[in-house]
Amino acid sequence: MSTLDERTDAAGGPARATELRRYEMLIGGEWVKARSGKTFESIDPYTGRPWALIPEAGSEDVDAAVRSARRAFDDGPWGRTTAVHRGRLMRRLGELIAERASEIAVVESTDNGKVLRETEQQLAGLADYYGYFAGAADKLQGNTIPSDRTNFLIYTTREPVGVVGAITPWNSPVLLLSWKLAPALAAGCTFVVKPAEQAPASTLEFARLMEEAGFPPGVLNVVTGLGPEVGGPLAAHPGVDKVAFTGSTATGASVMGAAATHVARVSLELGGKSPNIVFADADLEAAANGIVAGVFAATGQTCMAGSRLLVAEPVYDELLERVARRARAVRMGDPLRAETEMGPVAFEGHLERVLGSIAAAQDEGARLVTGGIRPSAPGLAQGLFVAPTLFADVDNSMRIAREEVFGPVAAAIRFREEEEAVRLANDTAFGLAAGIWTKDVQRAHRVARAIRAGTIWINAYRAVGPMAPFGGFKASGYGRENGLEALHEYTEVKTVWVELSGASRDPFKLG
């Protein structure tokens, strides 16, 4: 396992490694190569060059990792660890993440092209997530239930679901792993994670901190490789009690099918086509800023992207002018530079998909206001860049309004009345998030209640925290991450009946 390179370049920023960094996987507390001996290259989307070698695992490696997690849960010290001690370990892990956030952020930004200003903030903030769930670990308590019979005491307990198989995406690898891992550790589960093959390195770096924090071997296992060879066998493995997945809706359906073969529990955080609704009385400068945050930040590669702009007719032209002006001013460049606001998309295949969505929108008659191209300015031509893109005169039946692009592409749709805005907002297969921009507090609450989505922001967009549940309606998945509701995803309820009288009863009658 390589160590992080902390050198700086001539501009004072983090230096890219000059040699391929070689990684191993974590299984049962040991750093190991894939049993096949195969590796694959991780490509830096800014330079277009390989920067790391990653083990290419297969089903045998998955089986070893699941067995390790099962031993740790059933027979190892983790299964006997008290909730109080779990909380202590989690707090220590949070401290280590905060200490190493800058180092791991460089790895993640090199791997997926997300700007360092965001990955550093995300990673430093994870201490709060582990602290929040560390505090909840010793509060997973059951209830005493009033019985309808005097001779019975009835109570419940909450117990860990067992071995969790997690399949995580490439856009925010450690953050979205932690949304699953933190509540699972608090509950007492063990974990096998398969990070996305496009950006697995930061997850491997994070796993080193689990060891340093003192977690027993087998509590966290990391298996890297391609989806069909690793993700599929992990979801279908009979030793996995729950599968937690973040990714596309199509892949989520496949994961759910694989988990169903052995009736594993599933939570799915899937895609979105979230509306950002701007009413005529909104603060337009604040709304334009929120739109930029919602669809151009993270290069639009976020499930919660506010990619459908629903704009009231009276302010439609003015708002689009503001958004277009902001879009043209976005500073694209090296994601490791502090001044960069938008980096490249994460990999070649995804670039082709984003450009294909832009071309389809133009073919269907959407009006291109700005962007829609691969920029060729110095320092950008070698990277997988797409200029921030805004379409106007979009109809909600167009593909650009129906399908998730997962890139820096916004589609603007006019509306006239509040009822029309709600109808358009709900006219989608998805239901992950929505933004509402208005100074009318009564309207804000009416519209928030009417929209079928898991998270609603009012006069804001793209804010998350450990205390706030996150998840989707409809094709955006089910189950919740973060908040106390997340603990229910990783626990089972056990009901205990205690007979108090010692008297015999008719064995041929219920109860």
Q: How far is CA 162 from the centre of its chain?
A: 22
CATH at 36: 3.40.605.10
CB 471 within 8 A of CB 479: yes
Q: Which residues of 3-36 are buried (b: 16+ CB within 10 A; e: fewer)?
A: ebbeeeeeeebbebbeeebebbbbbbbebbbbee
Q: Note whether residue 333 is domain-resident.
A: yes
| 254 plus 295 within the same structural domain | no
Tokens describing residue 227: 């989806």
DSSP state of 15: P
Q: In the prediction, which pLDDT does 313 show?
A: 98
Contact indicator for 178, 202 with CB cutoff of 8 Å: no
Domain of residue 85, residue span? 21-270+476-494
pLDDT digits 0-9 by tens, 114-124:
999 999 999 99
Q: In this predicted model, what pLDDT tens digit does every residue of 223-278 receive, in sequence order? A: 999 999 999 999 999 999 999 999 999 999 999 999 999 999 999 999 999 999 99
Relative orientation angle of helices 173-187 and 201-213, to the nearest 10 degrees: 30
Q: For the CA atoms of 407, 409, 412, 418, what is the dihedral angle to 10 degrees? A: 20
Q: Are residues 257 and 191 in the same domain?
A: yes
Q: Which of 85, 335, 122 is nearest to 219 (CA)?
A: 85
Is 27 in the same domain as 126? yes
- Given 24, 303, 481, 489, the catalytic residue: 303
Q: What is the pLDDT of residues 69-110, one digit of tens each?
A: 999 999 999 999 999 999 999 999 999 999 999 999 999 999
CA distance 391 to 368: 5
Q: Report yes or no on 466 lying in a domain.
A: no
Cα–Cα distance between 387 and 163 in angstroms, integer?
43
- Shared domain for 250 and 299, answered yes or no, is no
Q: Tell me, yes or no, whether 117 lies in a domain.
A: yes
Task: Name the least confident of 3-17, 51-65, 494-508.
Answer: 3-17
Structural contact between residues 32 and 223, judged by C-beta atoms closer than 8 angstroms: no
Residue 270 CA to residue 247 CA, distance in Å, equals 5
How far is CA 277 from each of CA 162, 242, 353, 459, rounded to the nearest angstrom? 42, 36, 26, 10
Q: Which two tokens stand for residue 294?
A: 């919602």
Kindly state whether residue 361 falls inside one of the protein's structural domains: yes
One domain for residues 297 and 207 = no
Residues of the chain above pLDDT 70, percent: 97
Q: Is residue 504 in some structural domain?
A: no
pLDDT of amino acid 18 = 76
Question: Residue 64 has which token pair?
Answer: 């070893």
**Calpha distance 136→341 (Å, rounded):** 36
Pair (41, 183) in one structural domain: yes
Q: Choose, from 269, 341, 404, 481, the residue flagged as catalytic.
A: 269
Residues 266 and 279 reside in one and the same domain = no
pLDDT in tens, 31-43: 999 999 999 999 9
Task: Kindly tell me if the per-residue pLDDT of 10 is higher than 70.
Answer: no
For residues 192 and 332, state if they share a domain.
no
Mean pLDDT of 9-19: 68
Question: What is the rounded CA–CA span in Å between residue 253 and residue 259?
Answer: 10
DSSP 8-class letter at 66: H
What local confidence, expressed as pLDDT, does residue 160 receive? 98
Residues 225 and 357 in one domain: no
- pLDDT of 299 over the 90 cut: yes
pLDDT, position 3: 45
What is the residue type of 343? Answer: G
- Could you tell me if 195 and 322 lie in one domain? no
Residue 356 CA to its chain's centroid (Å): 24
Q: Does residue 450 belong to any structural domain of this protein?
A: yes
Beta bridge partners of residue 159, listed in sequence order: 492
Q: How far apart are CA 265 and CA 246, in angstroms?
A: 15
User: How many CA atoms lie within 13 Å of 210's alpha carbon, on the beta-carbon side?
Assistant: 29
Q: What is the pLDDT of residue 60?
A: 98
Which pLDDT score, from 0 to 100, does residue 8 have?
54
**Do the domain assignments include residue 508?**
no
C-alpha 455/C-alpha 388 separation (Å) is: 25
Identify the CATH number of the domain in which residue 360 sits: 3.40.309.10
Residues 280, 262 share a domain: no
Task: Give the pLDDT confidence score for residue 134 in this predicted structure.
Answer: 98
Domain total of the chain: 2
Position 81 scores a pLDDT of: 96
Q: Are residues 195 and 314 in the same domain?
A: no
419 is annotated as an active-site residue: no
Cα(435)–Cα(401) distance, rounded to whole angstroms?
Answer: 16
Q: Is residue 507 part of a domain?
A: no
Asked if pLDDT for residue 169 goes beyond 60, the answer is yes
Active site residue 313: no
